[in-house]
């Protein structure tokens, strides 16, 4: 392990590490635009120049490998001066339209100018005018004026998705990012380009002009839409300053997790999970043919708890059915097993998971549910079942609607349920199944609760609530605990 000194701090790093990586690991910041931990160094932005003892000129931190005894200095006057000049060149042809740029607030160029630049530009020439609104396909928009040609987007499409839709066209000062005629970006990982772009050149049409980044609160959670369980950050608007739409969740972005998703997420997770936040169930209600009547937690708990307690007391627990899904967290499933099933030993149990989708060979898995390994680990039987068996010999059924409950089987499920006395649906989102049930209880999305998912590779990832629980929502964990307590009351 070679040792090097950066700004007087001695660090031991692995063989072959670059100076920039070594510095970042030690939390020493060196500005960089084109370098990204997922790619080999490119060395095109020239921002990461540092002073290394024994080298005649400033060296690129991103592409210089560490050697034993290297002495690096990142804050000498020469380094600071070079950064200032590089930034001046980058900004000479940058429109500086930060007020209308969606990236403003999280733009690296903006940050570096604030930290290292702050120069009056000496350029008196008119800035180059380029197209500002090029459709790249999907939700992506390209602004060529803002582009600093770091080529992160090009390298992502070449090296990660291997689709290569974007390229650098022309040469020298005329270089520009573009697509081939009629071949827009089509990869299901295109959304990552927006996060990857260090400036506001590639922006997301679905986020365009909706708010400014500094109003958003970003918190970590896990994407529940497939068995990969990608680490994500979810950005929500806390409500003030006022907005017309109350939709609190604005963005889903990947959070680096080397073992699970690297630095990326698929567009299904990015936009699909965002969509779920827009069609929520919001009221505990009782379907009585006409308009659904709203119920309080206490009321529904006493109704349901009373019925189930009676079953338990009379030893008729086999007439209770539970349809679970493996989108529930380990903690919730454990609470079903230890809280409910211990008191109702003969209750019937099924798992209704969404039908498998397509496995794209990269992140997205065929299994479209987050916690099958966790459920199997708790000893549950996850075999698929025929909804027709539900109708037989049941008085009460509790259905935990997953994030895509009843996809393609609404009809069958609805008919099967018709003969059961009391039908309860617990679901975070509107599924279209609501009319078939007597009671509806809105539950929490994974971003609103804490818990643990075990992903397809057996990696357990715990998460905390990332956004405030939506109005009227009763998280599954709390409901199960309350129900278990209600049932054991007086027993």
Partner 1 sequence: MVKAWGYLWALVKGAAVTTRHFIVNMWFHTLRLVGFKRLRAGAVTFQYPEVRKPLAARHRSLHRLVARPDGRPRCVACLLCVTVCPSECIFVEAEEDPDPDVQKTAGRFEIDLARCSFCGFCVEACPEDAIRMDTGTIELAARSRADLLFDRDRLLRRN
Residues that bind partner 1 (CB under 8 A): 97-100, 104, 132-133, 209-212, 214-215, 240-244
Rounded CA gap, 452 and 16, in Å? 36
- 243 versus 392: smaller Cβ distance to partner 1: 243
CB-based contact 434:280 (threshold 8 Å):
no
Rounded CA gap, 94 and 97, in Å? 8
- 174 versus 209: smaller Cβ distance to partner 1: 209
Taking the complex as a whole, the smallest distance from the CB of residue 209 to partner 1 amounts, in Å, to 4
Rounded CA gap, 90 and 98, in Å? 15
Rounded CA gap, 135 and 124, in Å? 31
Residue count of the chain, please give it: 491
Taking the complex as a whole, the smallest distance from the CB of residue 140 to partner 1 amounts, in Å, to 16
Q: What is the tally of helices (H) and strands (E) in the chain?
A: 12, 22
Taking the complex as a whole, the smallest distance from the CB of residue 127 to partner 1 amounts, in Å, to 13
Taking the complex as a whole, the smallest distance from the CB of residue 168 to partner 1 amounts, in Å, to 24
Taking the complex as a whole, the smallest distance from the CB of residue 134 to partner 1 amounts, in Å, to 11
Rounded CA gap, 31 and 45, in Å? 10
- 98 versus 378: smaller Cβ distance to partner 1: 98
Taking the complex as a whole, the smallest distance from the CB of residue 132 to partner 1 amounts, in Å, to 7
- 68 versus 245: smaller Cβ distance to partner 1: 245
Taking the complex as a whole, the smallest distance from the CB of residue 274 to partner 1 amounts, in Å, to 19
- 108 versus 237: smaller Cβ distance to partner 1: 237
- 73 versus 127: smaller Cβ distance to partner 1: 127
What is the H or E stretch that residue 424 is in? strand 422-427
Structure tokens at 399: 């259905």
CB-based contact 141:131 (threshold 8 Å):
no
Structure tokens at 391: 């109708």
Taking the complex as a whole, the smallest distance from the CB of residue 94 to partner 1 amounts, in Å, to 16
- 205 versus 334: smaller Cβ distance to partner 1: 205
Omega cis (within 30) before 241:
yes
- 145 versus 430: smaller Cβ distance to partner 1: 145
Structure tokens at 429: 């989102």
What does DSSP say about strands 140-142 and 166-169: parallel, antiparallel, or unpaired? unpaired
CB-based contact 487:343 (threshold 8 Å):
yes
- 68 versus 120: smaller Cβ distance to partner 1: 120
Reported for 91-97, long-range contacts at CB under 8 A and 24+ positions apart, including other chains, are 91/117, 91/121, 92/121, 92/123, 92/127, 93/127, 93/128, 93/145, 94/127, 94/145, 94/146, 94/148, 94/199, 95/127, 95/132, 95/145, 95/146, 97/145, 97/146
């Amino acid at each position: 392990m070679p040792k090097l000194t950066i700004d007087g701090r001695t660090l031991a790093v692995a063989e072959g590490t670059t100076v920039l990586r070594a510095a970042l690991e030690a939390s020493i910041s060196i500005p960089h635009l084109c370098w990204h931990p997922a790619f080999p160094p490119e060395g095109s932005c020239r921002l990461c120049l540092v002073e290394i003892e024994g080298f005649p000129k400033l060296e690129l931190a991103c592409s210089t490998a560490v050697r034993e005894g290297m002495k690096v200095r990142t804050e000498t006057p020469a380094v600071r001066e070079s950064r200032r000049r590089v930034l001046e060149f980058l900004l000479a042809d940058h429109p500086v339209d930060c007020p209308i740029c969606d990236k403003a607030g999280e733009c690296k160029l903006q940050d570096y100018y604030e930290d290292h630049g702050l120069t009056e530009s000496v350029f008196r020439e008119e800035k180059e005018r380029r197209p500002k609104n090029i459709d790249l396909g999907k939700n992506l928009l390209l602004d060529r004026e803002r582009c600093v040609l770091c080529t992160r987007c090009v390298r992502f499409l070449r090296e990660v998705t291997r689709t290569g839709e974007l390229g650098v066209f022309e040469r020298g000062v005329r270089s520009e990012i573009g697509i081939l005629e009629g071949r827009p970006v089509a990869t299901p990982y295109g959304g990552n380009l927006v996060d990857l772009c260090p400036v506001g050149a590639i922006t997301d049409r679905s986020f365009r002009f909706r708010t400014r980044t500094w109003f958003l609160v970003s918190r970590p959670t896990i994407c529940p839409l497939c068995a990969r369980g990608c680490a994500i950050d979810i950005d929500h608007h806390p409500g003030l300053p006022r907005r017309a739409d109350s939709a609190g969740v604005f963005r889903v972005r990947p959070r680096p997790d080397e073992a699970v998703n690297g630095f990326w997420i698929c567009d299904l997770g990015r936009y699909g999970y965002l969509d779920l936040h827009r069609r929520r169930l919001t009221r505990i209600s009782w379907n009585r043919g006409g308009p659904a009547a709203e119920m309080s937690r206490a009321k529904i708990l006493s109704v349901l708890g009373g019925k189930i307690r009676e079953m338990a007391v009379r030893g008729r627990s086999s007439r209770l059915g539970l349809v679970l899904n493996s989108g529930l967290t380990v903690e919730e499933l454990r609470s079903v097993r230890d809280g409910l099933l211990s008191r109702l030993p003969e209750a019937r149990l099924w798992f209704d998971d969404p039908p498998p989708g397509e496995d794209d060979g990269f992140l997205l898995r065929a299994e479209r549910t987050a916690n099958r390994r966790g459920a199997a680990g708790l000893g549950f039987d996850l075999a698929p079942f025929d909804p027709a068996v539900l109708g037989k010999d049941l008085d009460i059924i509790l259905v935990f609607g997953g994030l895509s409950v009843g996809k393609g089987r609404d009809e069958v499920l609805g008919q099967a349920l018709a003969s059961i006395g009391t039908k309860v649906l617990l679901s975070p989102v509107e599924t279209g199944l609501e009319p078939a049930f007597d009671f509806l209880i809105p539950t929490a999305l994974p971003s609103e609760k804490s818990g643990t998912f075990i992903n397809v590779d057996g990696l357990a990832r715990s998460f905390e609530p990332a956004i405030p629980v939506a109005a009227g929502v009763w998280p599954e964990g709390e409901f199960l605990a309350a129900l278990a307590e209600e049932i054991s009351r007086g027993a």
